[in-house]
Amino acid sequence: MTSIGNGAFSSCSALRSVTLYAPSCALGGEDEWGEKYTTAFYDTNASLKIYVFNEYVNTYKTAEFWSTYASKIEAITIPAREASSGEYWTTYYNNLSNVSIPSGTQVFKVGLEGEDLTLTEIDDRIITKGEGVVLKTTSASIIPAYSASGSATSYSDNDLEGTMTSITNPGNAYVLNYKAATGVGFYKLSNTGTIGVGKAYLTYSGALAREFFNFEEETTGINEGCRVESEDSASAPVYNLQGQRVKANRKGLVIIGGKKIFNK
């Protein structure tokens, strides 16, 4: 959106927030004598918030007519949920603007092939508009920035979907969640469950009714208790992190002989 005309939201008493992804946006119009004025937000809710990218907050606050609403203008933020001490996760989606994520936050695309979930980090931390991502960070709030172009990394193998409005489960949806017993992953959403505004999710309709796809340990690297597969373990039964037996050539983190193995 690059302009908001007079009366656009006038008397919308239920309006709580407006999010603008453009670096600037014209506000108001002219009367029959050519005088500029605005009634775009006339008689709206007193608690109305107007969100823009952090680097453009002052631009909006001082722009013509927008200055009237300076006290309502704040930076766009992405809230994240703490999974363990100092580790926060969330998903993000918008189809209106490319977004740059600050250093200190990891950005992942997600591939789902059969029952195998693969997270691939986006090194330049740019989220191409229309692509859902998983974010891992060290604080409860991420402040994104506007990006004039999309990521240098292709999202062609990204299986995350997203929504700009709150929706009821579209069918076979899995949403990011954290459970102490099983960790961070995509958990099956109830049939009447909802997916929030600006969130990404997976859909899986395989024959096996999976309850969740766990990936926490696969994205934190190979740490104590994990090792690369050796020839000695080649003939042993292979299990995924949920205890289900899988093919011996399954890539990623698996359990062989009671030990966590990173299978190349």
pLDDT interval class at 86 (50, 70, 90): confident
CA nearest 152: which of 122, 129, 132, 130?
Answer: 122
Local structure of 246: helix, strand or coil: strand
Please give the single-letter amino acid code of residue 180: A
What integer pLDDT is reported at residue 241 of this predicted model? Answer: 64
Strand 126-127, strand 116-121: pairing: unpaired
Please give the single-letter amino acid code of residue 243: G
How far is it, in rounded angstroms, from Cα 152 to Cα 73? 31
* pLDDT digit string, tens, across residues 90-133: 999 999 999 999 999 999 999 988 778 889 999 999 999 999 99
* pLDDT digit string, tens, across residues 200-246: 999 998 877 788 887 644 443 323 333 333 434 455 677 766 566 66
What integer pLDDT is reported at residue 123 of this predicted model? Answer: 96
* pLDDT digit string, tens, across residues 147-156: 999 999 999 9
What integer pLDDT is reported at residue 258 of this predicted model? Answer: 61
What integer pLDDT is reported at residue 103 of this predicted model? Answer: 95
* pLDDT digit string, tens, across residues 155-206: 999 999 999 999 999 999 999 999 888 888 999 999 999 999 999 999 998 8
What are the distances in angstroms from CA 24 to CA 4, 68, 133, 150? 11, 16, 26, 19
Would you list the DSSP string of 75-128?
E--EE-EEEETTEEEEEE--SS-EEEPPTT-EEEEEEEETTEEEEEE-TT-EE-
What integer pLDDT is reported at residue 56 of this predicted model? Answer: 98
What integer pLDDT is reported at residue 78 of this predicted model? Answer: 98
Alpha helices, DSSP H only, in 130-248? 216-219
More confident position, 229 or 260: 260
What integer pLDDT is reported at residue 199 of this predicted model? Answer: 98
Percent of all residues in the chain with a pLDDT value above 90, rounded to a whole number: 62
End-to-end CA gap in the chain: 47
Q: If you average pLDDT over residues 39-60, what whole number do you get?
A: 94
